[in-house]
């Protein structure tokens, strides 16, 4: 969960001003807010999340405590590949999340034969990620979706129109599942290099190498 902090600051001589921070994790925000409170000069500390909902310190700490045992701070990397000769598609997703004080990663791929284009494969990979989120019981959270498909990212975030019938069906299917799970998506378009892990999973699926794994990772570890 990403938040920014807004507060009123009063100097010892009575000068008053307001501050608004950059975005940061809710956990870091709490640490900073508590440190500011100890100075006795920071007042009206408020946290604002990416949905523009506001929280005070007590509310945010209670919320984080309540989700400790559930998956949270979720990021999904997805990629799809299409083999024109065999008409087969490889789908891959890597999901990073926190749960019970641990940083975890789930990796999943699959081979499918009913798709016709690379863009369909990209959408199907995104949907595979959603299916895995459902199995993890991820719901009513902000989730970041990261991919290298300009078509999928820009169509889902509303920047590009979805004119092809098959892609429109996929976009509607994705939207329905997001609403069903109560997930608020944030989309990030990256280079293929930065999406290397999901790309490799999709390529392995095309080679009929099945991957399904879950492991603990270093909190600083990122998909590249």
Other C-beta atoms lying within 10 Å of the C-beta of residue 211? 14
Total domains in the fold of the chain: 2
Of 18, 45, 66, the position where a domain reaches its end is: 66
Within this chain, do residues 104 and 186 fall inside the same structural domain, yes or no? yes
Within this chain, do residues 23 and 132 fall inside the same structural domain, yes or no? no
Model-level pTM?
0.82
How far is 90 from 87, CA to CA, in rounded Å?
10
Within this chain, do residues 187 and 166 fall inside the same structural domain, yes or no? yes
pLDDT tens per residue, range 172-187: 999 999 999 999 999 9
pLDDT tens per residue, range 55-112: 999 999 998 888 889 999 999 999 999 999 999 999 999 999 999 989 999 999 999 9
For residue 221, tell me if it sits in a domain.
no
Q: Which two tokens stand for residue 2?
A: 């990403």
> Domain of 59?
2-66
Within this chain, do residues 115 and 57 fall inside the same structural domain, yes or no? no
Within this chain, do residues 38 and 100 fall inside the same structural domain, yes or no? no
Of 66, 94, 116, the position where a domain reaches its end is: 66
């Amino acid at each position: 969960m990403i938040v920014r902090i807004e507060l009123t600051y009063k100097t010892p001589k009575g000068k008053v001003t307001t501050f608004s921070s950059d975005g940061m994790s809710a956990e870091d925000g709490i640490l900073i807010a508590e440190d500011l409170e100890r100075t006795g000069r920071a007042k009206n500390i408020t946290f604002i999340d990416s949905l523009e909902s506001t929280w005070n310190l007590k509310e945010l700490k209670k919320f984080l405590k309540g989700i400790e045992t559930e998956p949270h701070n979720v990021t999904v990397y997805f990629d799809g590949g299409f083999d024109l000769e065999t008409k087969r598609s490889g789908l891959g997703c890597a999901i990073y999340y926190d749960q019970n004080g641990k940083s975890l990663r789930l990796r999943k791929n699959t081979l499918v034969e009913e798709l016709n284009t690379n863009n369909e494969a990209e959408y199907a990979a995104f949907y595979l990620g959603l299916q895995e989120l459902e199995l993890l019981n991820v719901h009513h959270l902000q989730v970041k979706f990261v991919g290298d498909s300009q078509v999928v990212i820009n169509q889902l975030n509303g920047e590009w129109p979805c004119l092809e019938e098959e892609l429109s069906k996929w976009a509607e299917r994705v939207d329905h599942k997001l609403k069903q799970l109560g997930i608020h998506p944030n989309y990030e378009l990256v280079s293929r290099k930065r999406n290397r892990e999901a790309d490799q999973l999709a390529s392995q699926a095309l080679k009929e190498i099945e991957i399904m794994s879950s492991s603990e990772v270093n909190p600083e570890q990122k998909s590249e």
